[in-house]
Each structure stands twice: as C-alpha cells, then as structure tokens.
Amino acid sequence: MARIIPIAHDTEKAEAISAATEVLLRHLPVAIPTETVYGLAADATHPTAITSIYETKGRPRFNPLICHMADLAMAERYAVFDPISRKLAEAFWPGPLTLVLPLKENSGIHPLATAGLDTVGIRVPVGFTAELIRSLGRPLAAPSANSSGRISPTTAQHVDADLGQKIEVIVDGGPCPVGVESTIVKVEDGEIRLLRPGGIAVEAIESVTGKPVVRPKASGTAAIEAPGMLASHYAPNAAVRLKATEVSAGEALIAFGPDDISGAAAAHALFNLSPTADLTEAASNLFDYLKRADASGATGIAVMQIPDEGLGEAINDRLMRAAAPRGTEG
C-alpha cells in the first residue's frame, strides 16, 4: 500500500523529497503532484525505471514520455533549442508547456523514455517536482499517474484509488491547480505546431511569439505526430454524451455556466464545471467531476457545450476522448 506524504510544511516537504528520492534511486516510480495532473515519475536515464512506469500503468511501449527538468539550464543539457522554443521556454517555464525538441547526442535520456525517437518532449513543472528533480540530479519521465486509458488524476486520492496497491509513495500536493495536461508544441522550420492542446492556451503562445500556431489538419494527424494521442483516452465507465441540450432520466449532468438546460433539475447528479463560465476554473474541475459523475451510478454522462477558445480547446479535446470508442492509451 502506498505511503501518502503531504507537503504543506517544510519538514513534510523535506521528508517527501528524501522518501521519493530513495524510491527513485531503486529505479521504481513515485506519484508526484504537478500543476497539471499527478505524474507517475521515474529516472528518465534508467531503463529499469522507465520500464516500471509502463508496467505500473499498463501502457503501450511505443508511447514516448514527457521528461521533466528542474529548469531551462538543465533542459539545455539534454535537448537543442531553436530561438522560438527558447522564447517559449522563457515565457512559460515553469508551467504547463511541453516542447518537443531534438535530443542532444549521448544526452543520457534512455531511448525507452523517447520510444526510440530522435526528439524528446520536455517541460519544467511548477513547485515540488522541480525540487525533487534537483535533489535527484536527473530528469524525471512522467506520464499521468493513472492506469492506461483511465481519467488522469488531479488529487492524491485519485492516484491512491487507482495505483495505491502498485506503488510505494504518493506525494500529496493537494488538488492540481491547472487540472488538464500540458500543451505540447513542436517548432519545425520556424513553424509552431500544436501536438496536444493543454494548460497553456494557444492564444497565449501566439501572443508571446507573434506567430500563428498550426493545428493538426484533421483528427488523426495528431495521433501520428504525438504517438500517445490515440482517440480513446480519459475513459469513464458510463457513456459520455457531448453538447447536451437536455438531460434524460438517470443521466448525470456536467454543466457549464449559469444557464440551466431542460431536465437539469431531475438529473441523477449535477456538477457545474464553472457557474460563472470561467474556462480556467472549468479545466481545474474537469477530471474530478468526470470521475464523480462516473461514480454516481448514472446511466450516462451528459456534458453541456463548452466554448472552444482558451483552455476550452484542451477541455473539449479531453471530452472528445472521453466520449470516443474505447482504446488502450493512457
């Protein structure tokens, strides 16, 4: 059973760093809080460590992992930065932006972490995890800390319920403030390509760089660019119905904004992502409310329409995956 270690006070934090470091040095994974979602982290330079992530999650191994760094200087030891990527790193790190960059030769990042690609997805997370990386002195590969195909965890309790029997340590940093995974971009020939919408809005990237962000042309393109982007992901057990304009008896409703829809009062359970229609608040509540709606015993989950701008793009991406036919990614 996992030991759950809080980090509210400095003494707890020091204890969490030393306990997590000790497990990582044995090439086993630990669950860590980040600003986006909880990660299942292990030493990105060690094959046994990376294999233990795939095994714990039951995740397909052709899927490259994001490597987390303590800061930009550390990232530059492993990857080659073009000027636009460096500008993005300076603007958004630490924070929910992942850059796909060419790997340096003999970088030390193990090919199992990158699925043998000559590029690596890198981000610098906020807070505790950056301190842990500094303590270990090595990058941490970390996908979301959930079984493959399940909804990503945004609290230590979510992690414990899913993986608590399989891992030794869960560091409890409280609810993740952003609530959806990082935005992934790749700069190629001076063009910024969006591989996954996430916690940094595309508009913010465009405003920092003065360049348009190029979205994948059709659904399916992203699956090739970012190999983890298979259609079904974030799958609850109950069927998910999008852009609902009414609720049927027995369904749970995930609402957005101040307005009611027909049947809302009789919904099996009701969760409002943001009564004031704030997309940032909605993103932070998304995975928790999906899990709760799923656990409510509802026959299905109806979700109201969410605007497709700002963080709404990431929310709609995750909802489409939750509603898609079931696959095996995670």
Residue 321 assigned to a binding site: no
x/- site string to ligand TXA, residues 188 to 217, per CB under 6 A? Answer: -------xx---------------------
Among 100, 130, 202, 314, binds ligand TXA (CB under 6 A): 100
Q: Which residues of 61-151 form beta strands (DSSP E)?
A: 66-68, 97-102, 119-123, 140-141
* Interaction of residue 286 with ligand TXA, rule CB under 6 A: no
3-state SS, 213-230, equals EECCCCCCHHHHHCCCCC
Q: How far apart are CA 173 and CA 5, in angstroms?
A: 9
| Residue in 5, 7, 37, 244 binding ligand TXA, rule: CB under 6 A | 37
Nearest to 146 by CA among 43, 40, 55: 40
Tally of residues, the chain: 330
C-beta of 325: minimal distance to ligand TXA in Å?
18
Alpha-carbon gap, residue 196 to 230, rounded angstroms: 11
Instruction: Note whether 124 binds ligand TXA by CB under 6 A.
Output: no
Asked whether position 319 contacts ligand TXA by CB under 6 A, the answer is no
Interatomic CA distance for residues 191 and 206, integer angstroms: 11
Return the one option of Mg ion, ligand TXA, none that residue 228 interacts with (CB less than 5 to 8 A, by type).
ligand TXA
**Nearest distance from C-beta of residue 52 to Mg ion, angstroms:** 16
- Neighbour count for residue 211 (Cβ, 10 Å): 15
Determine which residue in the list 45, 56, 98, 144 makes contact with Mg ion, applying CB under 5 A: 144
Q: Which does 121 bind (CB under 5 to 8 A by kind): Mg ion, ligand TXA, none?
A: ligand TXA
Compute the distance between CA of residue 205 and CA of residue 182 in angstroms, rounded to an integer. Answer: 13
Closest alpha carbon to 233 in 142, 148, 145, 315: 148
Q: 158: phi > 0 → left, psi -120 to 50 → alpha, else beta; which?
A: alpha
Please report how close the Cβ of residue 82 comes to ligand TXA at its closest, in angstroms. 15
Q: Which of 21, 51, 119, 296 contacts ligand TXA by CB under 6 A? A: 119
CA angle 115, 117, 121 (to 5 degrees): 85
- Interface ranges with Mg ion (CB under 5 A): 144
- Interface ranges with ligand TXA (CB under 6 A): 34, 36-37, 39, 63-66, 96, 98, 100, 114, 117, 119-121, 125, 142-144, 181-182, 184, 195-196, 226-229
Known binding-site positions for ATP: 59, 63, 119, 144, 152, 196, 234
Known binding-site positions: 36, 59, 63, 68, 119, 123, 142, 144, 152, 182, 196, 234
